[in-house]
Homo-oligomer: A and B are copies of this chain.
Amino acid sequence: MSGTRRRPTLDDVANDVGVSRATVSNAYNRPDQLSADLREEVLRAAKRLGYTGPNPVARSLATRRTGAIAFMLDTGLSAAFSDPALSITLDALAATVDPEGHALLLMPGGHDGGPRGDRVLTAQADLAVAYSLADGAPALRAVRQRGLPLVVIDQPVVAGAVRVGIDDRGGAAAAARHLLELGHRRFGILSAQCLSEPRGGPLSATEALRSRFRYNRERLSGYLTTLTEAGIEALEVPIWETSGLSRDHAMGGVRALLDRAPRPTALLCMSDELALAALAVARQLGLGVPADLSIVGFDDAPPARWAEPGLTTVRQDLVRKGRLAGELALSLLRGERPAKPATLDVQLVVRGSTGPAR
């Protein structure tokens, strides 16, 4: 059987045709470097011998290009992808870098805010993208140590990296302002994971503002600043940190917030997923939305539109964010030094889940 024989290499083809190895290489990589006839012959011989083209790893060694981009997350895949916002961003990123021959190497996170450092050190990638990792995640240090170019999304810029993010604070402020204008005075805040150890539970504002995740801090401070300016005692606003992104967990948090007396009339949620969980709980409790409770999310992922009632939320352009990250990645790979960190605008989208305070 041919199965046990070693795979043919470039040399085998070269010998078979009687040309140099360089010529065979050129047949694949630089067709203009040899005559069409010879190229044909080489390709025919390759086919006959069962040679399927240059070995990718060897090629990478020689070119110093792997064609892969490491995409680093702060959680496991299941949790990460339960948020449509990620899928959309990732898709746009992948689609942008794909034409240039780059694929994504997935690096899920563990419990220290990102992938393991040693995984990053041995990953075969030309560049790393960090998606909302915790500050000081070991993975970031590893990237830097290795000298990999880095693009960060939704997190503080690391020395030498390019950043794309959104105006988290402004969006959060707009959400809070909207509710204030509707006359709300009693709020609850549903936050994603802030602390090192995922636990889920109530959080003080000071704790929450020290979250390891930048977008958390930004959104939270957007909420609180705006509320404070309206004369509301920010430190009294209950905050619940959910652990992980699963809806079940989030629903527990919502119940806890709504259990308080007096019950909040409005919930500020740091993501649409959290807001949808709130919507589900409200329904379970028989609370009318927005009659008894107003809910506002963040992201404007597709499910926000499908919800019943539609979710008032802060829209960010996820596709643009992913595409931009992809373009920055490509330009870094080309050796260019892209200048300014990009901060995309957001805008409030008012739908049916918010209404006047009663």
Contacts and interface: CB of A to CB of B under 8 A. Distances in A.
Interface of A: 3, 7, 52-54, 56-61, 64, 66-68, 76-82, 84, 86-88, 90-92, 94-95, 98, 101, 103-108, 119, 121-124, 145-147, 246-248, 280, 283, 302, 306, 308
Nearest to A76: B91
B57 A124 contact: yes
A306 B247 contact: yes
The copy count of this chain in the complex is 2
Contacts of A95: 76, 108
A121 B53 contact: yes
A246 B52 CA distance: 37
A103 B123 contact: yes
19 contacts: A7-B147, A52-B121, A53-B121, A53-B122, A57-B57, A67-B122, A67-B124, A76-B91, A77-B91, A80-B87, A81-B90, A94-B108, A95-B108, A98-B108, A103-B106, A104-B105, A105-B106, A246-B302, A280-B308
A123 B54 CA distance: 11
A80 to B, nearest CB: 8
Given A80-B87, A81-B81, A124-B124, 15 more contacts: A52-B121, A56-B121, A56-B124, A66-B124, A68-B124, A78-B91, A78-B92, A81-B90, A81-B91, A98-B108, A103-B107, A103-B119, A106-B106, A247-B302, A280-B308
